Chain A
Amino acid sequence: MANNDIYNEIQYPGPYQLAWAKFRADHVSWVCFCIVIFFIIVAIFAPLVAPYSPTEQNTDYVLLPPSWQNAGDVHFLLGTDDLGRDVLSRLIYGTQITFGLSLLVALAAMVVGLALGALAGMSKGIRASVFNHLLDTILSIPSLLLAIVIVAALGPGLFNTIWAVFLVLIPQFVHRTRIAVQNEFKKEYVTAARLDGANDFQILISSVFPNIIETIILQYSLAVSAAMLDVAALGFLGLGAQQGSPEWGAMLAGSIDLIYRASWLATLPGVTMFLCLLSVNTVGHGLRNALKQRSE
């Protein structure tokens, strides 16, 4: 189409902008993205948002049902547990532990995995083969079993759980990065850069990384949901966060004894966690679709 506006340069959207526009055009993903942002804000500002401390025991209000039931009290919006602790505050602080820590641990695993994956992707011969075998071994063990074994060696506790999840997530990042780097290195623009005299490291930083960053972000969203599941599952099994901690899995585990008397203690943490996981998964799915559409 002819462009009559000769004074203003027309802006063509770059690849990132294009992917972002595609992503925003999908309403479901966009809503889920907003929910994820909401959870992140809640996690950061938990002490400001929460009405009570997660450990404060209101002994006059033990096992109060949520406020929409007749026996409920509006001061405790989502009710209280068997020690009179406010469920809403505990869920908010739980966001900090289960969701916030998962975001951080996935980020740390991403940095380490990216570095190792790039090294593995560029190496050839026997070293690469040994590395691949090692990776295949670790990837063939399901992440929860591996995390359980690491926790068994280190001893139960939230801190050890985080270590375990960190170690479990790294191989997945290494695997994904390695494949992506190997594929990029076969492409012609890399050859062009090499003919210009760039060494491997320069090619990696300035040519390959910008092109695989989206794959890595996609893997990050998968890793966050896997990390949340593992942290909560270990908390539920009593191997992670100790009983009484507001971690969602530990809250669910604590609710089992009271499930007949106070079913909201089992449903509410589950609903929160389900919502959070669903949003993260949908964002990842939407991202993948956006990238696929852009390349088509």
Chain B
Amino acid sequence: MIVYFIRRFNLLVTTLFLLSLISFSLAHLFPGDAAINFSGQQSLTYQEYAKLTEELALNESYFVQYIVYMQRVVQGDFGNSFSSDASVLDDFMRVFPASAELSAYALILTAIVGLPLGLWAGVKRNSWIDKVIFSSATIANSIPIFWMGLLLMLLFSLNLAWLPISGRLNLLYEVPSDTGILLIDIALSNLDNKYQIYQDALRHLVLPTITLAILPTTILIGMMRSSVINVMATPYIKAAKTKGLSTFQIIRKHVFRNAILPIIPQFGLLFNTLMTSTMITEFIFSWPGIGHWLIEAIYQRDYPVIQAALLLVSSFMVVINVLSDIVHTLLNPLVRKEING
């Protein structure tokens, strides 16, 4: 067991090391001067430039440069943004909660919709219910997410005028940003018309959350369905049926828990899809999150931001991937048995 953890940890460290190497080399690969790309300070006098080159060890070998870069990363110094001239880490901390909030709601929606539908389709395998659920999931899986966002916007915002088009909150309301998570911020604020603000925030949330949740939901339905089908074919389900348990009891006590276990290691895949979708969704709905920030940075050729965003976002994903693997091992006795031999 400990050997397994060490190996996972080893994988994590190696992967993070390679990611940092890619991120480091980007500053040299991007057009322009490496000192400016690393620090993000554009208007430098000659003395300042020489001092910066000294600090970043740019005259030394690449190895020394990398060490210096890693020291800065560990201290959280990713340089300054070209466009806002603020520290990249501060900018990241400002946009991250918005993305995390949106992703979390989409993930909850995915679980609420995807798990029961997949379970239902798997239990009623080859019936018309299964066919309807599975083929709609396949069809929804082929809809490009940016088109889906546009369609929802066209229908609900423009034609029916039920929901706002873009942004997080009506500009009338000014909620101070304490945590960055809007629904918590509203609760913490001392504004008097909280009820209306909540309503407005929730109305802004509906379309992006649905757009974002569609793709992961279709994937989750597929995973859950095949997992449930595998479980239903096992002898212990047959034994439970022979015991005389009702279908509902079998599903509640045996199928659900066993079907969910093999999905946990695939959570990383689900999360990757979610992150990719987040970037496009944020772009469509002008949601002030990481995706919007990164794409803006590319338009502006804001190299320090691109470099830092790549490192932070992909490290986050690697950690999530490894964590879902470890959680799976801890929860699933079958895998533990395999590892321990």
Q: How far is the CB of A121 from chain B (nearest CB, A)?
A: 20
Task: Give the nearest-CB partner of A228 in chain B.
Answer: B144
| Complex: A228 Cα to B324 Cα, angstroms | 29
The size bracket of the interface on A is 35 or more
The winner among A141, A238, A255, A267 for most chain B CB atoms within 10 A is A141
Contact A239–B146 (Cβ < 8 Å): no
Contact A236–B154 (Cβ < 8 Å): no
Q: Which of A59-67, A111-119, A258-266 forms part of the interface with chain B?
A: A258-266
Across-interface contacts of A238 in B (CB, < 8 A):
299
Task: Give the nearest-CB partner of A225 in chain B.
Answer: B142
Contact A153–B26 (Cβ < 8 Å): yes
Which B residues, 102 to 155, have Cβ-Cβ distances below 8 Å to chain A? 138-139, 141-147, 150-151, 153-154
A127 within 8 A of B: no
Contact B318–A277 (Cβ < 8 Å): no
What count of chain B residues pass the 8 Å CB interface test?
Answer: 43
Across-interface contacts of B280 in A (CB, < 8 A):
144, 233, 236-237
Task: Give the nearest-CB partner of B19 in chain A.
Answer: A137
Check A140/B150 contact, CB under 8 A, given A151-B298, A278-B142: no
Contact B143–A274 (Cβ < 8 Å): yes
B295 within 8 A of A: yes
| Complex: A235 Cα to B203 Cα, angstroms | 29
Contact A237–B295 (Cβ < 8 Å): yes
Contact B147–A252 (Cβ < 8 Å): yes
Task: Give the nearest-CB partner of B305 in chain A.
Answer: A152
Q: How far is the CB of B34 from chain A (nearest CB, A)?
A: 13
A281 within 8 A of B: yes
Contact B275–A233 (Cβ < 8 Å): no
Check A134/B299 contact, CB under 8 A, given A141-B317, A236-B146: no
The proximity string for B residues 136-180 relative to A, scoring 1 for CB distances below 8 Å and 0 otherwise, is 001101111111001101100010000000000000000000000
Which A residues, 147 to 177, have Cβ-Cβ distances below 8 Å to chain B? 148-149, 151-153, 155-156
Task: Give the nearest-CB partner of B15 in chain A.
Answer: A137
Across-interface contacts of B144 in A (CB, < 8 A):
229, 232-233, 249, 270, 273-274, 277
Out of A148, A236, A266, name the residue touching B298 (CB < 8 Å).
Answer: A148
Across-interface contacts of A239 in B (CB, < 8 A):
295, 298
B313 within 8 A of A: yes
Which B residues, 24 to 66, have Cβ-Cβ distances below 8 Å to chain A? 26, 29-31
A136 within 8 A of B: yes
Out of A134, A142, A252, name the residue touching B150 (CB < 8 Å).
Answer: A252
Contact A281–B141 (Cβ < 8 Å): yes
Residues of A whose CB lies within 8 Å of any CB of B are 133-134, 136-137, 140-145, 148-149, 151-153, 155-156, 225, 229, 232-233, 236-239, 249, 252, 255-256, 259-260, 263, 266-267, 269-270, 273-274, 277-278, 281-282, 285
What are 20 A-B pairs with beta-carbon distances under 8 A? A140-B314, A144-B276, A144-B280, A145-B275, A145-B276, A149-B306, A152-B30, A152-B306, A155-B31, A225-B142, A237-B283, A237-B295, A249-B144, A263-B154, A266-B150, A273-B144, A274-B143, A277-B142, A277-B143, A278-B139
Beyond A137-B14, A152-B297, A267-B151, 12 additional pairs, beta carbon < 8 A: A137-B18, A148-B295, A153-B26, A155-B31, A225-B142, A232-B144, A232-B146, A233-B146, A238-B299, A239-B298, A252-B147, A274-B144
